[in-house]
Amino acid sequence: MTKKRNLRGPEQLSRRQFLQIGGVGLSAAAFMAACAVPAEPGAAPATGDSTASEPTSGGTLHLMGHQEVAGLSPDDTGPSVQATMILAIHNSLLMADKDLVTQPQLAESYEVAEDGLTYTFTLHQGVKFHDGKEFTAADVKYTYDYYRDPENASTLVNNFLGIGAIETPDDYTVVINMEQVNAASLTTWGETPIVQSEYHAEVGEEAYRNAPIGTGAFKLVEFNPAEVVLVEAFDDHFRGRPKIDMIRQEVVPEPSVRTIALETGDADSALWPLLVEDSLRLAEDPNFTVIKTSTAGVKHIPLNNKLPQLSDKRVRQAMMHALDRQRIIDDLWNGAATVANSNLGPKFAFYSLDQDPSLKRYDYDVDKANALLEEAGWVMGDDGVREKDGAKLTFTCTTITGDSARRPIAEFAQQAFKEVGIDMQLAESPISAILEGLTNGTVDASLFNWTYGSVDPDPSSTLRSDGGQNWNSFENARVDELIDLGLVTVDPEKRREYYYEIQQIVVEEVPMLYLQWDDWYNVFTARVKGLPESANDAFAIYFNGLHEWWLDPA
């Protein structure tokens, strides 16, 4: 979930709403004018609606995700498909809108002290949880205290860096006292979904993941992690009852099956993209609306940097040189992506070095790959697999079960690595098991999209040594120091220096194999109404729109 401002106007690519969003400027902190990044020339906000039909109530919206939904707690918001349902069930004090501009949600208003050390939130009154309990400041304090407590081993713990005491002077006021400035605050902990505190304390986190109670526009009806999440409209939602009666999100791993379901009318939208060629085809079909955005999450191969075979950066650098990433894009992704050059995408132009020619590049070069491996002491064995100190240069890449779209990339990489004497075996597992395995070191590598800094470029969760989503087991003292400096620095120009250096270190150390920045296609059937004419983030469309959309009964 990411945050801020501005975008170029939409580029119409067909007679439907097929929209291209260009690079954006960013806001570093969002809490004072001094933090704002200057708008790019020609930038303009998105406006308008995709349809002129009159809103109607009723019906079930059918969504499709590509992987299981492991849980519905705030701690499960990392994977975007999970976050879609979590944010339908919960609300946060603040939330980035479809254009990635932070807006009040459960907070009616808020103030930030000039020194950035005190945040005062005035809450909406009369907000109800799904069980009828009134939402109060105590729920905010409980949520933040729970997920920032290291004893609870939350993946969100680094979102709360810098927070000291949390005060609740009355039921509708929350005062966050910072021990040090955290320039990412409003886009990290400010957007953390709020739980029903009494219920969560009673049942515990594990039970809550399967039966959450929030203030969101929809409340849970049915949850089967490997199959379906079903939610229904919450009549007493504080922003008004949503127009759609129910939302059914099903797990459909195979992109071709998702396409068929859309074409037959069995589904209304694919949360995860179809095959690129199918998205392009449906963009020309008047029975569909296709919205194109650029991705914030890099498609990459996370690597266990503590695995002996992968612990030497020269091995990781060699793997980058061994991959013809442009061929992956051209042959396996229909050209709908750009080669990634850093951890922070060109979409976030103010902070990103991705397009800067001074940044180190890993061009496809098998000779360089072999030379680096030789330099690292890995000698080619008789079986074509390199060896060092009696160990083989072998590891396993575990892809997401049923992910037929990205699996061919892993197969391509397997053959490319074989040419330079690296044996990468392939396996499959559910995403929840992969993320757990990457965390505890039992998974060597995987292949998926993830965000390593985005609209607010802070990568505390993913690149800091103690980050809750440090899937690469990456440890670098200088990166930790730079992350901390970036968080306590408000001035965007100064912050940018720290994030530039982080990118330079990441490119040198290669903790993960960064592959590409995908073009992202959101496909909707024509019966889904109230869609935006443009947006700046693929999932922000869902995070902000579900309670406002309606279904054409025709």
Q: What percent of the chain has a predicted confidence (pLDDT) above 70? A: 91
- CB pairs under 8 A, 24+ apart, for 37-45? 37/5, 37/350, 37/492, 39/5, 39/6, 40/6, 40/8, 40/349, 42/8, 42/9, 43/6, 43/7, 43/8, 44/6, 44/7, 44/8, 44/9, 45/6, 45/7, 45/99
> pLDDT value at position 522?
93
Please say whether the beta carbons of 291 and 548 come within 8 A.
no
Least confident of 14-23, 220-229, 346-355, 483-492: 14-23
Least confident of 51-60, 323-332, 466-475: 51-60
What separation in angstroms does the CA of 119 have from each of 1, 32, 108, 369, 444? Answer: 21, 12, 13, 51, 41
What's the rounded Cα separation, in Å, for the pair 518 and 501?
24
Hey, what domains does the chain have and what are their CATH numbers?
298-518 (3.10.105.10)
Asked whether the CA dihedral 212, 216, 221, 225 is positive or negative, the reply is negative
> pLDDT value at position 19?
33
Per-residue pLDDT at 452 exceeds 90? yes
The model carries a pTM of 0.77
> pLDDT value at position 349?
87
Least confident of 98-102, 148-152, 438-442: 98-102
Average pLDDT of 439-464? Answer: 94
Strands 445-446 and 394-400: parallel
What's the rounded Cα separation, in Å, for the pair 214 and 497?
39
What's the rounded Cα separation, in Å, for the pair 414 and 385?
12
Please say whether the beta carbons of 276 and 290 come within 8 A.
no
Terminal-to-terminal C-alpha distance of the chain = 34
Q: pLDDT digits over 173-225, tens only?
A: 999 999 999 999 999 999 999 999 999 999 999 999 999 999 999 999 999 99
Average pLDDT of 65-80? Answer: 94
Please say whether the beta carbons of 551 and 56 come within 8 A.
yes
What separation in angstroms does the CA of 103 have from each of 38, 95, 367, 494? Answer: 19, 5, 51, 25
Encoding tokens for residue 386? 């390199």
Q: pLDDT digits over 423-438, tens only?
A: 999 999 999 999 999 9
Please say whether the beta carbons of 220 and 527 come within 8 A.
no
> pLDDT value at position 8?
23
Per-residue pLDDT at 5 exceeds 60? no
Q: What percent of the chain has a predicted confidence (pLDDT) above 90? A: 82
> pLDDT value at position 99?
84
From 529, 10, 2, select the one nearest 291 (Cα to Cα): 10
Per-residue pLDDT at 380 exceeds 60? yes
DSSP bridge partners of 396? 425
Q: At 250, phi and psi to the nearest 5?
A: -110, 150
> pLDDT value at position 4?
28
Per-residue pLDDT at 527 exceeds 60? yes
Per-residue pLDDT at 30 exceeds 90? no
Q: At 281, phi and psi to the nearest 5?
A: -65, -45
What percent of the chain is helix, strand and coil (3-state, nearest 5)? Answer: 30, 25, 45
Least confident of 5-19, 129-143, 522-536: 5-19
Highest mean pLDDT, choosing among 134-148, 339-353, 534-548: 134-148
Q: At 69, phi and psi to the nearest 5?
A: -100, 105
> pLDDT value at position 104?
97
Please report, to the nearest 10 degrees, the dihedral formed by the alpha carbons of residues 435, 436, 441, 442 taken in order.
-100
Q: pLDDT digits over 158-185, tens only?
A: 999 999 999 999 999 999 999 999 999 9
Per-residue pLDDT at 249 exceeds 70? yes
Per-residue pLDDT at 36 exceeds 80? no
> pLDDT value at position 14?
31
Per-residue pLDDT at 339 exceeds 80? yes
Average pLDDT of 240-256? Answer: 96
Asked whether the CA dihedral 527, 533, 2, 278 is positive or negative, the reply is positive
Q: Considering the chain, what is the average pLDDT of its residues?
A: 89
Give the 3-state secondary structure of residue 227.
coil
Please say whether the beta carbons of 551 and 269 come within 8 A.
no
From 515, 155, 518, select the one nearest 343 (Cα to Cα): 515
Encoding tokens for residue 498? 């720290």
Encoding tokens for residue 269? 């939208």
What's the rounded Cα separation, in Å, for the pair 23 and 1?
17
Please say whether the beta carbons of 410 and 425 come within 8 A.
no
